[in-house]
A and B are shown apart, each in its own frame.
Chain A
Amino acid sequence: MPEKFWTSFEHLQAPVEPDLAEFSDTPLRNETGPDRRGFLKAAGFSFGAAMLAGCTRIVNKIEPNLIQPEGFIPGRSVYYASTCNACSAGCGTLVKVRDGRPIKVEGNPEHPVSHGALCAMGQASILGLYDSHRVMQPVVEGKNVSWNDADAFMRNRLEEVRKSGGAVRLLTATVHSPTELAWISRFLEGFRNGRHVQYDALSSSAILDAHQQTHGSRFLPRYRFDKADVIVGIDADFLGTWISPVEFMRGYSASRNPNGSRYAWHAQVEPRMSLSGSKADRRVMLAPWELAVFVNDLADAVRTGNSKRAEVAEIANRLRAARGRGLVVCGLQDTAAQQQVNSINETLGNYGATIETAQASRQKRGDDRALESLMGELRAGQVDVLITAGVNPVYDVPGGEVAAKAKTLVAHALRMDETAAKAQVVLAGSHSLECWSDSEPVEGIAGIVQPCIRPLFQTRSCLETLAAWSGKPESGLNLIRDQWQKEIFPKAKSNLAFDKFWEQSLQAGFAGFEPSPRPKTAGTARPAAAPPPAARQEGFDVVLYAKPALFEFREAYNPWLQEVPDPISKVAWDNYACLGPQTAEKLGVTMGDVVRIECGGQTLELPALVQAGQSETVVAVALGYGSRLSERFAKVGPEWIEARPTLNDKGQVGVSGTPLMSLEGGLLRYSRSGARVSKTGKKADLACTQEHHSLTAPGHLRPAAGATRPIVQETTLEEVRASGGHRPKEAPEPQLWENDHPTPNHRWAMVVDLNACTGCSACVVACQAENNIPVVGKDEMRRKREMHWMRIDRYYSGSPEDPQVAHQPMLCQHCENAPCETVCPVLATVHSEEGLNQQIYNRCVGTRYCANNCPYKVRRFNWFQYSHEDQIANLVLNPDVTVRSRGVMEKCTFCVQRIQEAKIESQRTGAPLRDGDVKTACQQTCPANAIIFGDLNDKNSNVSRLMADDRRFKVLEEINVRPSVGYLKIVRSEAQRDTEKENG
């Protein structure tokens, strides 16, 4: 590895050869080998067992349907269009249903918001359906009851409140389902004092408030990254967790295609290294309190054209040069700053161009002011009935424990979270794959959520519950259909009859319609200059953020998401205190040292993580950890003598950052200053995967003449444009082996665009869902035994204080001269005549030679029997992929089951296989379109075209294993090149 790139601070300080031991702490290392008697015993036993196995027949049963529904064929997958409910972005999904059970969620390519992509959370949402820890039936005062009893109890209680005129509050996250909103208002109409409060755990309330001020209506505009030429993100991680990451990632990658006619320039201003920051051309690091100042300066500079601050002037000039093609987004929870941002965008003419207001977004509708006043009412004991639906205020609102002060607390929840645990009535909610609903993520685009399975337990959707309590018990389907007939169909201006329209919408998963215009009052176009920020307090600034993949609390139960390493820190199964490199040195802490954060009377103890590219006064802590929902992981991972628990001493995964949040001035705030950070002297394990499976060309294999080539390669836009995109013809490398493995029919290959890849990890989870990849737990991950077939390596370059970041998805490269194949003593890994490197589980005896010989370190060994007995969770398994047992090697197969399916279907229908018919799971879900898979024998395929692109390189090409995976170089700006040169 050239010295330019580094993966961790240890690596940077002492550029030694990375730890090449493939496996650390092997369980066999300390054992003495089997003695002769042991061998005989084992041999005798296995011989006997083999005989017995030969004598017994396993009797399998077949239970066909009595009356088979039309169109249902056992073993054939059916796809239903639906809408993802994992967050409030409202991406369209296609749910793969096999033999009556949903087994995978994929993006709906026709959906106007998500365009076929899905994030890690959406991919993992299916595991939430098959969750044996769900609330399986209503609970009233600690007793499991039937729905009739729960309804009777609630009707009585609500009747009392109706008579007394007491306060009823319904607390939800953002609801953009038109039918649900209609029923919520219908339900609350029955009360003299009923109110619906929406809040988002990751709030964007300030943006809505600012638009109330500047545009006269409280709304969230729709940001069009696909139309922007200059993108400025101010503490808004729009590629990671902000509002609608999938939609934004699609747009962002469309705007940043170096082979296209335009290439957007992106500046990110932020206190900590976010996913968006890792992709920026220009990154400005500021402490949280400096951000508002920056916004004011930028507003001035945009108006006047100059600024005292060089970075502000640069960004402002770029924006001014791209009037109507620029986009400034800001994630600050500060209404004054947001108003300034609106005025910047207004001045530049971005409204109506890159910022849509006519068809605005409804993805965040939370109102923190309403939340604050609700908290006040609760504190004063003025709330008679508080119904929470799909939210967990006790956990994720600072001071949210007051929810328990409501006279009756009713929680509509899927799982026993903190709020449900305190609630008098817990209503077992249905998963979105089990119930009808709808959505309107963007005004004028309505999506349908349709059930793909009957409720597994005695659960009911929130919509049906509200209808039942309003005295009109009705099935979800009828409720949605009625609403669509009354409200959406007339606005859709369709020529069809309603039944046809409904059928068509159901099949597509969504329908477009003409939204009713928003009531508008006059707003002040230009805000008064924001008041100067409060004097900076001494000490550290705490920044609370959400990790991509895991987001806020809601997914804390999900082992797939817990096991995804954070794209930047590469740590899984934990949150930690991120400290800047110089600060860490000053405090004398390194990774894993537990530090104490004291702030505003709250104390948190967390392991430290030294984070490159973080403002030195900042300590950043991820939200969503330390939740009750993670207590279930006490037994995750294999049980053996040296196993260490995944949970910390509190019995949870990580520590909750909520106590450091604040709810003041009508806004949820995710940063505060005046914190003290000190070392405690304790140590904690962190499962950090970046140093695992390091790539390097072994010293003795390095070509004698030339230097080794970088693992990650970079170019500039100028170079790309100069080359015209086509690479010069290369002389074929001399080969030791004869070319006696023809690939006459197909030659599968993949190209990964490193410039597009944002590291969001959706592919990692999609691969896990598709290929039945087990969850191993924190301890196994710490021991380099994670099972992900696809990982995303993160490399830094430049100085630790302000590095550049590269994300590199790494998977089996399906080498033509595969080193793993030559060392397998049992030929369990061989080449196919379609260019695939096949791994045959039933032939593998587990010598692990192949993994040892793999230069890319992508082979995974089943150290234990990871498959488990949870019959409900096992329903998610893909029946087309073998569940591997202990002692077997596995790795990426290029989704060979999908290749086979496409080939067999093309043979059945007689239509030849076209480019794009086979999509690997990672490619299908990639929001950035960074993964392209296809057939190299088809000269017109996308993958053939990209293999001939000048940006294409292959990793470790110098060792001549001839991988089938090509990578496209990252495009850096000239400025970044220059800083690099300065840094040497």
Chain B
Amino acid sequence: MNSRIVTIVLLIGLAVTGAMLVARMSEFHLPGNQQGYSPVQPIAYSHLLHAGEMQIPCLYCHYGAQFSRHASVPPANVCMNCHREVTASLGAMHAEDALAEKEKRKPRQVVSPELKKLYDALALDANLKPDPNKTPYPIVWNRVHTLPSFVYFDHRAHVNAGVECQKCHGPVETMERVRQYSDLSMGWCVNCHRDANKTGIAGKQVRASIDCSTCHY
């Protein structure tokens, strides 16, 4: 009797474990491999909107990629180049305009809740003027693409050789939230370097070294 209960409990436990494992199968990854990683960011920034619909070039915001090893997340002042003017989506603006017309008043400034976070970080008031009562604070983003510290990767070398951003980062312009597209493993790097040496990049002959010390030092 007792043994049967034990067996049943064990079986149920096993089944639950199995089900959980199967359910999480899609997330299975080898140690160090973060392919598919797509963390929630402090501001729901959409690459689909900016890079896709608006067709802002990648290097407009990630300008560091041409000059430095880091592409880097743009500082807030780059966001403010546009968002000093654009404070909400076009739809929300139109809706406010329509409402104001109906209520026979001047349209109020609409600020989307996500952009509010940007303005708060910069300590700006409702009119986007610096608010002396607020203190600015940094926006802490979650890093999506990470390489181990014993790998030296340089964006500069790749961007200036003509490698498209999408080659490694995938179709970012279609991603609402950025996801790690490639597995960023060494084999993946080396394969691309080998192919590039054979086929060239954008019709140009290139020399992509496969020496260890190209990346490891």
Write the A893-936 contact mask toward B (1 if CB under 8 angstroms, else 0). Answer: 10011001000110110000000000000000000000000000
> Given A74-B64, A75-B64, A907-B160 in contact, is the A68-B75 Cβ separation under 8 Å?
yes
Of A60, A880, A896, A904, which contacts B213 at CB under 8 A? A896
A36 on the B face (CB < 8 A):
no
Neighbouring B residues of A907 by C-beta, 8 Å:
157, 160-161
Q: Is the interface of A mostly helix, strand, loop or mixed?
A: loop
Of A59, A66, A893, A905, which contacts B217 at CB under 8 A? A893
Complex alpha-carbon distance, A745 and B154, angstroms: 20
> Given A66-B76, A74-B70 in contact, is the A61-B141 Cβ separation under 8 Å?
yes
- At the interface with chain A, which of B8-16, B27-35, B102-110? B27-35
Neighbouring A residues of B160 by C-beta, 8 Å:
904, 907-908
Of B161, B207, B211, which contacts A832 at CB under 8 A? B211
Contact in complex: B68, A67 (CB < 8 Å): no
B193 to chain A, nearest CB (A): 13
- At the interface with chain B, which of A10-18, A453-461, A833-841? A833-841
Complex alpha-carbon distance, A838 and B148, angstroms: 19
Contact in complex: B72, A74 (CB < 8 Å): yes
B105 to chain A, nearest CB (A): 34
- At the interface with chain B, which of A50-58, A652-660, A953-961? A50-58
A842 on the B face (CB < 8 A):
yes
Which interface residue of B29, B34, B63, B214 has the most chain A CB atoms within 10 A?
B214
Neighbouring A residues of B149 by C-beta, 8 Å:
882-883
- At the interface with chain A, which of B46-54, B88-96, B132-140, B165-173? B132-140
Complex alpha-carbon distance, A129 and B39, angstroms: 38
Within 8 A of B (CB), among A55-109: 57-68, 73-76
Complex alpha-carbon distance, A65 and B161, angstroms: 28
> Given A54-B29, A904-B154, A907-B161 in contact, is the A62-B213 Cβ separation under 8 Å?
no
Neighbouring A residues of B151 by C-beta, 8 Å:
842
Neighbouring B residues of A840 by C-beta, 8 Å:
212-213, 216
A830 on the B face (CB < 8 A):
yes
Contact in complex: B216, A61 (CB < 8 Å): no
A881 on the B face (CB < 8 A):
yes
Contact in complex: A62, B212 (CB < 8 Å): no
Contact in complex: B216, A842 (CB < 8 Å): yes
Neighbouring B residues of A53 by C-beta, 8 Å:
31-32
Contact in complex: B211, A65 (CB < 8 Å): no
Neighbouring A residues of B207 by C-beta, 8 Å:
745
Within 8 A of A (CB), among B182-217: 207, 209, 211-214, 216-217
Write the A341-383 contact mask toward B (1 if CB under 8 angstroms, else 0). Answer: 0000000000000000000000000000000000000000000
A506 to chain B, nearest CB (A): 23
A890 to chain B, nearest CB (A): 10
Neighbouring A residues of B121 by C-beta, 8 Å:
66
Contact in complex: A54, B64 (CB < 8 Å): no
Which interface residue of B69, B78, B160 has the most chain A CB atoms within 10 A?
B69
Neighbouring A residues of B78 by C-beta, 8 Å:
68
Complex alpha-carbon distance, A908 and B67, angstroms: 8
B61 to chain A, nearest CB (A): 10
Contact in complex: A65, B75 (CB < 8 Å): yes
Complex alpha-carbon distance, A76 and B77, angstroms: 19
Contact in complex: A832, B212 (CB < 8 Å): yes
Complex alpha-carbon distance, A53 and B31, angstroms: 6
Write the A38-50 contact mask toward B (1 if CB under 8 angstroms, else 0). Answer: 0000000000001
B117 to chain A, nearest CB (A): 13
Complex alpha-carbon distance, A301 and B160, angstroms: 69
Complex alpha-carbon distance, A893 and B152, angstroms: 14
Nearest CB to that of A837 among chain B residues?
B213
Contact in complex: A64, B211 (CB < 8 Å): no
B116 on the A face (CB < 8 A):
no
A937 to chain B, nearest CB (A): 14
Contact in complex: A897, B157 (CB < 8 Å): no
Complex alpha-carbon distance, A60 and B146, angstroms: 8
Neighbouring A residues of B84 by C-beta, 8 Å:
none
Complex alpha-carbon distance, A211 and B148, angstroms: 62
Write the A435-455 contact mask toward B (1 if CB under 8 angstroms, else 0). Answer: 000000000000000000000
B74 on the A face (CB < 8 A):
yes
Of A64, A73, A883, A900, which contacts B73 at CB under 8 A? A64
A744 to chain B, nearest CB (A): 9
Which interface residue of B121, B143, B150 has the most chain A CB atoms within 10 A?
B150
B74 to chain A, nearest CB (A): 6
> Given A830-B212, A896-B213, A907-B161 in contact, is the A59-B76 Cβ separation under 8 Å?
no
Contact in complex: A61, B142 (CB < 8 Å): yes
Contact in complex: A50, B31 (CB < 8 Å): yes
A343 to chain B, nearest CB (A): 57
Neighbouring B residues of A67 by C-beta, 8 Å:
75-77
Contact in complex: B213, A838 (CB < 8 Å): yes
Neighbouring B residues of A897 by C-beta, 8 Å:
152, 217
Nearest CB to that of B136 among chain A residues?
A66
B160 to chain A, nearest CB (A): 5
Contact in complex: A61, B211 (CB < 8 Å): no
Contact in complex: B31, A54 (CB < 8 Å): yes
Complex alpha-carbon distance, A880 and B29, angstroms: 28
B37 on the A face (CB < 8 A):
yes
Of B29, B68, B77, B138, which contacts A75 at CB under 8 A? B68
Contact in complex: B67, A882 (CB < 8 Å): no
Contact in complex: A59, B39 (CB < 8 Å): yes
B79 to chain A, nearest CB (A): 10
Of A64, A832, A838, which contacts B141 at CB under 8 A? A64
B66 on the A face (CB < 8 A):
yes
Complex alpha-carbon distance, A50 and B214, angstroms: 27
Nearest CB to that of A49 among chain B residues?
B31
> Given A54-B30, A881-B217 in contact, is the A64-B72 Cβ separation under 8 Å?
yes
Complex alpha-carbon distance, A841 and B150, angstroms: 8
Contact in complex: A838, B156 (CB < 8 Å): no
Nearest CB to that of B211 among chain A residues?
A832
Contact in complex: B217, A900 (CB < 8 Å): yes
Write the B111-123 contact mask toward A (1 if CB under 8 angstroms, else 0). Answer: 0000000000110
Contact in complex: B72, A60 (CB < 8 Å): no
A414 to chain B, nearest CB (A): 30
B188 to chain A, nearest CB (A): 16
Write the A599-642 contact mask toward B (1 if CB under 8 angstroms, else 0). Answer: 00000000000000000000000000000000000000000000
Neighbouring B residues of A76 by C-beta, 8 Å:
64, 67-69
Of B140, B148, B161, which contacts A61 at CB under 8 A? B140
> Given A54-B29, A64-B138 in contact, is the A880-B74 Cβ separation under 8 Å?
no
Neighbouring A residues of B156 by C-beta, 8 Å:
904-905, 908
Neighbouring A residues of B157 by C-beta, 8 Å:
904, 907-908
Which interface residue of A76, A841, A881, A893 has the most chain B CB atoms within 10 A?
A76
Contact in complex: B73, A882 (CB < 8 Å): no
Complex alpha-carbon distance, A74 and B154, angstroms: 12
A561 to chain B, nearest CB (A): 26
Neighbouring B residues of A745 by C-beta, 8 Å:
207
Contact in complex: A64, B139 (CB < 8 Å): yes
Which interface residue of B34, B39, B161, B211 has the most chain A CB atoms within 10 A?
B211
Within 8 A of B (CB), among A99-132: none
Neighbouring A residues of B39 by C-beta, 8 Å:
59
A935 to chain B, nearest CB (A): 15
Complex alpha-carbon distance, A68 and B75, angstroms: 6
> Given A66-B136, A908-B156 in contact, is the A842-B150 Cβ separation under 8 Å?
yes
Contact in complex: A833, B211 (CB < 8 Å): yes
22 residue pairs from A and B, CB less than 8 Å apart: A59-B143, A60-B142, A60-B146, A62-B73, A63-B140, A64-B72, A64-B73, A64-B138, A64-B141, A66-B122, A66-B139, A67-B75, A73-B67, A74-B72, A836-B211, A841-B216, A843-B212, A882-B149, A896-B213, A897-B152, A900-B152, A907-B161
- When A and B form their complex, which 8 residue pairs have the shortest distance between CB atoms, in order from nearest? A75-B70, A60-B143, A68-B75, A75-B68, A832-B211, A54-B31, A838-B213, A76-B68
Known: A61-B143, A62-B72. 5 other contacts (CB 8 A): A62-B143, A67-B76, A745-B207, A838-B212, A842-B150
